[in-house]
Amino acid sequence: MPFSVYDQLDDDALAERLEAAREVTLCQRVMAKTGDNVLTMLVGAQSPVGDLRHYPPTDVYDAEYHAQYYFHAHPANSQPMGEAGHFHTFMRPFGMPPGVTPLAPPPNLDDPDGNGALSHLIGIAINDLGSPVRLFTTNRWVTGECWYAADDVSRMLEDFTIDHARPSWPVNRWLTALVHLYREEIIDLLAKRDAAMACFQNENIGADCFEDRRLEVLSERPINLNAKVSDTEQAALARRRARRRAG
């Protein structure tokens, strides 16, 4: 089985992905012991209301790492088949790497303390069982984010951490680990996001493309978490065997 995405990683990075895979698995196991998953932990036994309301209502924000997320669902007639809703993940300026500045802030940005120019990182769609099924990026208007270059957003991924107990410690840990596990795939989607925006801008000279409702999802890919965890474990095992043979 080819491991091209893993071949690009040094030993430390591969070890980090393996740790993320184990963390995701651990969180799911703990939630499953009470018949729960990330969906039931945030929404409860009922299905999420498809009116775009946020779960939790005030979002989740880690004041140490300045990472943020919420979950919501679109109306049933506009939601992709097989999906129960999705997470939106963000980083705020106080948690961003030095030297990062937005390329295109939204109109009327409210930023009294200098921490309002948040960047969307990645959308993560889940099914009714709480399993992630799709990663996607969006246009600026979708979440009201500021627009940062893909390379800068890619640098933010390493520091995405939700490290507190509310509203759900296993969900916070699960989401943090998931972003780190799929870091290479997310980086690829961010590059494709910028390419799609550049193409749209070239075809719509003079338009405010970041607010254009014709342009919503800019890049996406289906994912299979079980396969990803298995591939990560096998890649780490293959790396250890290769080191032993070389040593």
State the DSSP string of 104-131: BPPTT---TTS----EEEEEEEE-TTS-
Q: Which residues pair with 222 in a beta bridge?
A: 134
> What are phi and psi for residue 104, nearest 5 degrees?
-150, 90
147 Cβ contact list (under 8 Å, min separation 6) = 102, 103, 104, 105, 140, 210
What stretches of the chain show up as alpha helix (H) in DSSP? Answer: 4-7, 11-32, 38-43, 140-143, 150-156, 169-181, 183-203, 225-246
Of 42, 70, 48, 57, the closest CA to residue 142 belongs to 70
pLDDT value, residue 186: 98
pLDDT value, residue 173: 98
63: pLDDT strictly greater than 70: yes
Whether the full predicted model's pTM is greater than 0.85, yes or no, is: yes
9: pLDDT strictly greater than 50: yes
Q: What angle do CA 216, 200, 107 make, to 5 degrees?
A: 60
234: pLDDT strictly greater than 90: yes
| Mean pLDDT value across residues 89-104 | 95
| Mean pLDDT value across residues 59-73 | 97
pLDDT value, residue 2: 46
As a whole number, the mean pLDDT across the chain is 94
Report how far apart, in Å, the C-alpha atoms of 129 and of each of 39, 84, 162, 231 are.
7, 9, 22, 22
Residue 5 CB neighbours (<10 A): 17
- Residues 178 and 157 sit within 8 Å (Cβ to Cβ): no
What stretches of 33-149 show up as alpha helix (H) in DSSP? Answer: 38-43, 140-143
78 Cβ contact list (under 8 Å, min separation 6) = none
Q: Which two tokens stand for residue 224?
A: 């299979």
DSSP structural state of residue 168: -
Amino acid at 173: R
Rounded-to-integer distance, Cα 155 and Cα 97, Å: 7
Q: Tens digits of per-residue pLDDT, 125-141? A: 999 999 999 999 999 99
| Mean pLDDT value across residues 86-97 | 97
What stretches of 65-168 show up as alpha helix (H) in DSSP? Answer: 140-143, 150-156
- Residues 189 and 133 sit within 8 Å (Cβ to Cβ): no
| Mean pLDDT value across residues 37-55 | 86
Confidence of residue 57 (pLDDT cuts 50, 70, 90): very high
Confidence of residue 112 (pLDDT cuts 50, 70, 90): confident
| Mean pLDDT value across residues 32-52 | 88
The fraction of the chain above a pLDDT of 90, given in percent, is 83
106: pLDDT strictly greater than 60: yes
| Mean pLDDT value across residues 176-183 | 98
Q: Tens digits of per-residue pLDDT, 194-220? A: 999 999 999 999 999 999 999 999 999
